[in-house]
Chains A and B, each alone.
Chain A
Amino acid sequence: KAGVTQTPRYLIKTRGQQVTLSCSPISGHRSVSWYQQTPGQGLQFLFEYFSETQRNKGNFPGRFSGRQFSNSRSEMNVSTLELGDSALYLCASSFTGKNEQYFGPGTRLTVT
């Protein structure tokens, strides 16, 4: 079974721009969670989607948003990029009723 896929893998953006990241979960997984990983803050939860609905949200500003499609694929968007948004953005999926989350390879975002 294919794992979680994320596109693009690397991205360079300029301050003030916006960016959209994509995540395709493992086949059959309907829950998708997003995390931000930085050297200073470690891994932090952004939000979780299940059946096209946001179920949980972390402590991030409204510039960070997401959505999920009927095929469980998810996108996250960051508007008005700041230098501090430079990070590895990770998507994880899990099977309904199971707590184990499996991570994709991540998207490395650099904001200049």
Chain B
Amino acid sequence: QKEVEQNSGPLSVPEGAIASLNCTYSDRGSQSFFWYRQYSGKSPELIMSIYSNGDKEDGRFTAQLNKASQYVSLLIRDSQPSDSATYLCAVLAGTASKLTFGTGTRLQVTL
């Protein structure tokens, strides 16, 4: 079983819709969770971090964490073509600085 799992996609959503990206992790000791956006040929860009159960909102982005279910998700409201990218879920366990990444979900926002 992979440590961090994501559906590779592509996830296709129409412009203006809500995109829902999901991630599960296996290490119950994980304490910090991150979403990165990576455009083709570019490096990952941090867009959200979440540490506590529940929702965290930042602009059009909402991260949701459920530690009991070992599940973290990212919602993108009012999706725009510029949101088309690969979204990487990353998990940090304990005090180590080693990020464990999922393989990423490719999001396509269509006109």
Contact = CB atoms under 8 A, between A and B. Distances in A.
B99 A33 contact: yes
Contacts of B69: none
Contacts of A35: 99
Interface stretch (B10-18, B44-52, B57-65): B44-52
Interface in A85-112: 88, 90, 92, 94, 99-106
Q: Which of A33, A103, A106 has the most CB of B within 10 A?
A: A103
Nearest to A44: B101
B43 interface: yes
B43 A90 contact: yes
B80 interface: no
Given A35-B99, A42-B101, A56-B97, 5 more contacts: A45-B99, A88-B43, A99-B97, A101-B99, A103-B46
Interface of B is mostly: strand
For chain B, give the interface size range. Answer: 20 to 34
Nearest to A46: B98
A58 interface: yes
Interface residues of A, number: 24
B22 interface: no
B49 A100 contact: yes
A79 to B, nearest CB: 23
A94 B96 CA distance: 12
B34 A100 contact: yes
B98 A58 contact: yes
Nearest to A105: B43
A10 B103 CA distance: 23
